[in-house]
Structure 1
């Protein structure tokens, strides 16, 4: 099924289209919809006729292949089957044949929906799970998060991805930087400084990975920041619950840990200790990977800038990130990269 080439492919994905897609997927809704916050994909909460509540994700066209999406789904299902608190997509069961909807031939968790305009969308539906933000200042919360991630990595280490990307300095750093240069998005007023600091920062990232030597590469959540952790105080899923495996990838274990640490450098050591104490209950941790935290932070910064640039034609991005187009953004990025250079130079 062809994917849209329109830079604004979500323009026709209105509530009526969402309800139609859910009905064709075998999940008729009662009309109550809530669009959830997501820039990369389009995500809707829907109340179904049977009283349940689900979350429908319409994937951004051309970002992932079907094989990559199905690998995400299989990973989520594997973790859920191991009693990890991860929300896995549902198997879709169309109630009748309709040319506007089909299941992927390789997996029933991925549907293809074609709207009235002819635009095609890939759809996955998961049960809704609610919760609050974790209290990362609490030692027991950090230890619990560490135990969950240790369990997750013990399961993920049993297999490997065939189609998902690998987190390394080439993919998330050098390639992302080059896309920014080729696209001309860097503000001319500050281009020289940003080019200089980004090149120096990536050189230090390369050196850090080289010093570490061969890494143990495992399957990761990949984007394990506090916003992707829902904390529940009671019930079947009490404790931390992980959502949004959209960025799952292969990489070092520390990638799933460092974004849960506080931003204040003075508080990192204690938090790190609590997190790793819990992690060690289920999985050995290579403490040399702690030296990769600042390099990984640097890669995330450069990759984020490239992500914003690549999505700039989507009308949601200039509204959500108006400062990206200003010279001050690139001046700030250069300053923050210089801070990263100073931090990495300490090791």
Structure 2
């Protein structure tokens, strides 16, 4: 298996990170907590002045300084527009600091718990917040961040995997064939909306990146994957379960979203293409990070014959799911045939 060339990043220590923070004028009081993050190294630090900071050390080689600073600028713009996000602090003359061969940024800690996505009021509230988020995202485009408005991210992941040696010879032909079918379907789906509107997005808007507090509701964390793309990219990852459940959930989210922002219903046809794109991209991401000691420990099943056979089967299902049809043709309204007790949507 090929290795991530930056194996040293997997051994980044809390002591090193504390030294970097002190160089930036932030002094801890001794209390610190390593937070869960595979892509970056993240540390929660109690500072001597009473503030609680979250320091993120960026994986070398993933983003350029321009891409990171563009993300920071977007977060600041959202915060100035009173969209609740964790925006980086200005440390000296920049929000991005360099220490030896590492780069880092610091945000205030924002507490909260996972949102209860089986509650229609919670989904509607998140929908309103995403509408406000996207109104800010529409103001101007990203110049340096990635674009998720075609099959290109999937092609990049496919090419990397095919050149990595991580696909067993007996599995490679089937995987390559089904991925090619998927990429063609993704391009077809995007091409069917020639005037598709793209905007600055959160990019990784799954429930783990939304925190909820009883008094203030939801707020966003981690814009590390901010991209240009269609609005539906920030909505579909909130949906789960069978087709009926997802229709009901989406109806709630859109009920909130469309009170503050317009939504192009044609983008519903992009849900399965975007899901497929994420699946292919995720395999490439795991392969690229395999040299980081944290990854074999956390994902021991990755790269096995069972894993690749399972991927082939799932991607074949996605080929069928992406066949042209009327997606969510009749969205159930939140009040229609929904049981919000016990098991949630059913």
CA–CA distance in 2 between the matches of 1:11 and 1:147? 38
* Residue 193 (structure 1) aligned with residue 179 (structure 2): no
Aligned to 2:303: 325
Q: Select which of 97, 110, 114 maps to 1:133.
A: 114
Report how far residue 270 of structure 1 moved: 1.1
Q: Who is 1:336 aligned against?
A: 314
Q: Which residue of 2 aligns with 1:100?
A: none
2:104 to 102, 123, 135: 123
Cα distance in 1 between the residues matched to 2:19 and 2:311: 43
Instruction: Please tell me whether residue 111 in structure 1 is matched to residue 93 in structure 2.
Output: no
Question: What is the rounded CA distance, in whole Å, between the counterparts of 1:157 and 1:45 in structure 2?
Answer: 32
**Counterpart in 2 of 1:243?**
221
Aligned residue among 139, 155, 158 for 2:136: 155
For residues 114-152 of structure 1, the C-alpha deviation after alignment (integer angstroms, 9 at most, x for no partner) is 1xxxxx110100000111111111111111010000001
Offset at residue 288 of structure 1 (A): 0.2
| Counterpart secondary structure, 2:8 | coil
Check the 8 A contact 1:29/1:49 in 2, yes or no: yes
| Contact preservation (8 Å) 1:136, 1:262 | no
Give the Cα separation in 1 of the matches to 2:317 and 2:148.
22
**Are the equivalent residues in 1 in contact too, given 2:233–2:274 (CA < 8 A)?**
yes
Identify the residue that residue 275 of structure 1 maps to in structure 2: 253
Q: Distance in 1 between matches of 2:19 and 2:291?
A: 27
Residue pair 2:200, 2:229 contacting (<8 A) in 1 also: yes
Deviation readout 1:174-200 (Å, 9 max, x if unpaired): 121111111122232322221111111
- Which structure is richer in relative contact order (CA contacts within 8 A, separation 6 or more)? 2
Instruction: Output the CA distance in 1 between the equivalents of 2:138 and 2:240.
Output: 27
TM-score for both structures, normalised by structure 2: 0.90
User: Which position in structure 2 is the counterpart of 1:104?
Assistant: none
Structure-1-length-normalised TM-score: 0.90
Name the residue aligned to 1:96.
none
